[in-house]
């Protein structure tokens, strides 16, 4: 970026708690850290043979459109993107240890294309021995890349509410059937959801870079519509990911939020964190998975109704 670009960004964000000179220095420092982390990422993550289907780099009339905020359903991504079987469960249904590397892969994919990302998780995934990379979750929360819902069953609602408020998009494979019983949530799902599908890859392609520079964790992902059909046309995908002033009545929300909350400096900061966590996680996660298998299974706490009478034979009203 040129000095003019930094100056323009400084005034658009409107953060006058620091001087323009300090802001420019912070931006340049963040960019240098991001470039160093990117070099380390390329050095330590081998090049694989796969490509992602969609390139979001080019779009018609880019100045005419605004990139929507990407809200990531963290629990869904970590469960569906995992292939680490949890052998502690004696059930017919196979259980998997939630994979934070899958979450980092999806985050990095969108941030690489200059989309703002916000991950939403419940408190369960903020606890030790729940995922294979607790320190990464901690840093995502500290960097305000990830927000934690107060209750275990509220993360879906929070993700939908955040996406609706910011005119963003929830990335998930969850169809939110439990939340479509009201007109409000049904509209949210129809207007603010981007489906994701996971595909198994050979062991040699795990923890590699795709030919177009993205990270493959333990599975590859693709995007699909609410109907279940895969997106095969970039134009269809752009209509979901971009806000168009000619067709979107809430365009101003996307426009003002992005100008105030997303910048080249913020993108550099987020990319630096994601690249570093991915490189470290390649060694950390397998060891964590082995250790978690020796730990007791997390049991969510059941809320106690303080008004419930201890007498079970109380007359019903």
Residue 137 CA from chain centroid, whole number:
11
Residue 271 CA from chain centroid, whole number:
13
Query: Between residues 256 and 186, which one has the greater pLDDT?
Result: 256
For helices 183-191 and 155-166, the axis angle rounded to 10 degrees is 70
Q: What value does the mean pLDDT of the chain take?
A: 85
Q: Which of 4-8, 209-213, 235-239 has the highest mean pLDDT?
A: 209-213
Alpha-carbon gap, residue 148 to 123, rounded angstroms: 6
What digits encode the pLDDT tens for the residues 11-59?
666 655 677 778 777 778 888 888 898 999 999 999 999 887 677 776 6
- Burial bucket for residue 172 (CB in 10 Å: 0-12, 13-18, 19+): buried
Is the model's pLDDT at 129 over the cut of 50? yes
**pLDDT, mean of residues 253-266:** 93
**pLDDT, mean of residues 56-66:** 74
Q: What is the reported pTM?
A: 0.85
**pLDDT, mean of residues 296-304:** 59
In CATH terms, 3-292 corresponds, of 3.40.50.300, 3.10.180.10, 3.40.50.2020, 3.40.50.11980, to 3.40.50.11980
pLDDT at 310: 39
pLDDT band at 10 (very low <50, low <70, confident <90, very high): low
Query: Between residues 294 and 110, which one has the greater pLDDT?
Result: 110
Can you say whether the dihedral through the CA atoms of 305, 311, 316, 317 is positive or negative? negative
**pLDDT, mean of residues 251-259:** 95
Q: Which of 56-60, 114-118, 128-132, 225-229 has the highest mean pLDDT?
A: 114-118
65: its two tokens: 């459109």
Is the model's pLDDT at 275 over the cut of 60? yes
Is the model's pLDDT at 306 over the cut of 50? no
pLDDT > 90 fraction of the chain, expressed in percent and rounded: 55
Is the model's pLDDT at 74 over the cut of 70? yes
Is the model's pLDDT at 108 over the cut of 90? yes
Is the model's pLDDT at 313 over the cut of 50? no
Is the model's pLDDT at 269 over the cut of 70? yes
**pLDDT, mean of residues 177-189:** 75
Is the model's pLDDT at 111 over the cut of 50? yes
pLDDT at 316: 35
pLDDT at 48: 94
What residue ranges do the domains of the chain occupy?
Answer: 3-292
Query: Between residues 12 and 291, which one has the greater pLDDT?
Result: 291
- Burial bucket for residue 10 (CB in 10 Å: 0-12, 13-18, 19+): buried
Task: Write the CA distances from 104 to 3, 101, 167, 302, integer angstroms.
Answer: 31, 5, 23, 30
pLDDT > 70 fraction of the chain, expressed in percent and rounded: 84
Query: Between residues 257 and 228, which one has the greater pLDDT?
Result: 257
141: its two tokens: 């929360």
Is the model's pLDDT at 308 over the cut of 50? no
């Amino acid at each position: 970026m040129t000095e003019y670009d930094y100056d323009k960004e400084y005034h658009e964000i409107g953060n006058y708690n620091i001087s323009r000179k300090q802001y420019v220095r912070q931006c340049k420092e963040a960019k240098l850290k991001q470039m160093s982390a990117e070099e380390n990422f390329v050095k330590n993550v081998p090049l694989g043979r796969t490509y992602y289907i969609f390139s979001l780099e080019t779009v018609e009339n880019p100045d005419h459109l605004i990139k929507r905020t990407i809200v990531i359903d963290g629990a869904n991504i970590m469960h569906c993107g995992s292939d680490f079987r949890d052998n502690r469960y004696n059930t017919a249904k196979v259980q998997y240890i939630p994979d934070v590397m899958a979450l980092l892969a999806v985050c990095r994919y969108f941030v690489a294309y200059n989309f703002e990302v916000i991950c939403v998780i419940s408190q369960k995934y903020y606890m030790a021995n729940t995922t294979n990379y607790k320190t990464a979750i901690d840093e995502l929360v500290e960097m305000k890349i990830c927000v934690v819902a107060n209750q275990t069953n509220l993360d879906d609602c929070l993700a939908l509410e955040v996406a609706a408020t910011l005119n963003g998009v929830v990335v998930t494979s969850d169809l939110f059937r439990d939340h479509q019983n009201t007109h409000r949530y049904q509209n949210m799902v129809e207007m603010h959801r981007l489906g994701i599908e996971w595909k198994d890859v050979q062991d040699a392609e795990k923890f590699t870079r795709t030919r177009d520079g993205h990270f493959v964790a333990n599975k590859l992902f693709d995007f699909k519509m609410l109907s279940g059909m895969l997106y095969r046309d970039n134009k269809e995908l752009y209509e979901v990911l971009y806000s168009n002033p000619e067709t979107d009545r809430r365009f101003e929300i996307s426009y003002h939020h992005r100008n105030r909350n997303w910048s080249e400096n913020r993108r550099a900061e987020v990319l630096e964190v994601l690249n570093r966590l991915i490189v470290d996680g390649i060694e950390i996660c397998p060891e964590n998975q082995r250790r978690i298998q020796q730990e007791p299974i997390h049991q969510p706490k059941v809320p106690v109704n303080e008004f419930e009478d201890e007498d079970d034979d109380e007359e019903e009203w």
